[in-house]
Amino acid sequence: MDTQHPSAGSAYGGAPAIPRKLTIPDVVGRKRDHRRITMMTAYDAAFAKLVDAAGIDVILVGDSLGMVVLGYPNTVPVTMDDMVRHAAAVSRGATRPLLVGDMPFGSYQTGPTDALRNAARFLKEAGMDAVKIEGGHETVDTVRALVENGIAVMAHVGLTPQRVAQLGGFKTQARTARAARRLIDDAVALEDAGAFSIVLESIPAPVAAIVTERLTIPTIGIGAGPDCDGQVLVLHDVLGLFGDFKPKFAKRYGEIGAAVVDALRAYDTDVREGHFPDEEHSFTMKETELAALRRAVAQPKAG
Ligand code: KIV
């Protein structure tokens, strides 16, 4: 892990080394150095802190927020205000990872001017380092405009969940030679437009391998096989916190949802049976104050 000392003059002073914040050139450089990139979603300060503590390189404040936190059936209803509020919370919780804010549906499709205004909110109001945009060739002009105006962009092709209605569901993309060729051309065009990395979602592993070989920017896979330069998953899928829908590509590394239900059942039982709160979790007062209080409440109320 890259580190820096908090004060320059303390090289011999035993100052604790703190992890250095990752930059966009760091992430791009990983591909050159053949070091895999890890990316995870987060939506609030508490989990962002935990993702940071785990040593993850990039936090994506994904518009998957809509499904796993806000309870929508898909990501379409998510607004810029939703995203900015949650992204700001994430940036208060994480210090080392690169932070990427996901542009929600409707925040960039109307053209570069709206895209610039909305992307700038992620940087100015929410402390994000970059934004992510779903789409292929149709987003190239927007990506170029953002990059030329100083906003780093992560592209996203393959299954683009904001188009779930058009795609007829959360389906694997680029399964024919023709569709795969189109996706590869889109990825190259997005790199040419200045994107610093690209998410490949739910596409055949061999197609992702070709894209990864063709591009000089890192590919970050989700359901795109092992040959991408990095991997991303949705936090709630990884932790077992989202039971409504589990994509085939999502690996569960914990069962936090079940642990939460167990803990809450124990609380529910303790309260119902009078075991909580006990002495340890209650406050006391001086005996003299309590005696005075008892005397006072024994008197008829004044007036
Ligand atoms: O919104 C999201 O979480 C994403 C990832 C699945 C890449 O876009």
Instruction: Please choose from 38, 63, 162, 170 the residue to mutate so as to test ligand 1's pocket, defined by most ligand atoms within 8 A of CB.
Output: 63
Yes or no: say if 108 and 142 are a contact pair by the CB < 8 Å rule: yes
Q: What is the 8-class DSSP label of residue 43? A: -
Going 225 to 250 to 134 to 91, the CA torsion angle's sign is: negative
Q: Of residues 138, 201, 213, 279, which has the active-site annotation?
A: 201
201 is catalytic: yes
The model's confidence at residue 12, banded by pLDDT at 50, 70 and 90, is: low
Output the residue whose Cα is nearest ligand 1's atom 5. 62
Residue 10 has pLDDT above 60, yes or no: no
Q: Which residue has the higher pLDDT, 179 or 18?
A: 179
Residue 176 has pLDDT above 90, yes or no: yes
115: which residues sit within 8 A by CB, 6+ positions away? 103, 107, 108, 133, 142, 145, 146
Cα of 3 to ligand 1 centre, how many Å? 28
- pLDDT for the residue 5: 42
pTM of the model: 0.92
Yes or no: say if 123 and 156 are a contact pair by the CB < 8 Å rule: no
Q: What is the largest CA-CA distance in the chain?
A: 90
The average pLDDT across 173-195 equals 98
Token output for 237: 């899928």
Least confident of 60-64, 122-126, 240-244, 255-259: 240-244
Share of the chain above pLDDT 70, in %: 93
Helix ranges (DSSP H) in the chain: 24-32, 45-53, 65-68, 80-93, 112-126, 140-148, 164-167, 177-192, 205-214, 235-239, 256-272, 287-298
- pLDDT for the residue 247: 85
| Closest to 207 (Cα-Cα) out of 232, 241, 176, 249 | 176
- pLDDT for the residue 1: 53
- pLDDT for the residue 7: 42
Mean pLDDT for all residues in the chain: 94
Output the residue whose Cα is nearest ligand 1's atom 4. 62
- pLDDT for the residue 302: 62
- pLDDT for the residue 303: 60
DSSP 47-100: HHHHHHHTT-SEEEE-TTHHHHTS--SSSTT--HHHHHHHHHHHHHH-SSSEEE
Q: Which residue has the higher pLDDT, 157 or 2?
A: 157
Output the residue whose Cα is nearest ligand 1's atom 8. 62
pLDDT in tens, 114-171: 999 999 999 999 999 999 999 999 999 999 999 999 999 999 999 999 998 999 989 9
Residue 76 has pLDDT above 70, yes or no: yes
Segment holding 154, helix H or strand E: strand 152-158
Q: Which residue has the higher pLDDT, 269 or 243?
A: 269
Residue 8 has pLDDT above 50, yes or no: no
- pLDDT for the residue 6: 41
pLDDT in tens, 13-61: 666 666 899 999 999 999 999 999 999 999 999 999 999 999 999 999 9
Alpha-carbon 265 to chain mean position: 29
Q: Which residues pair with 226 in a beta bridge?
A: none
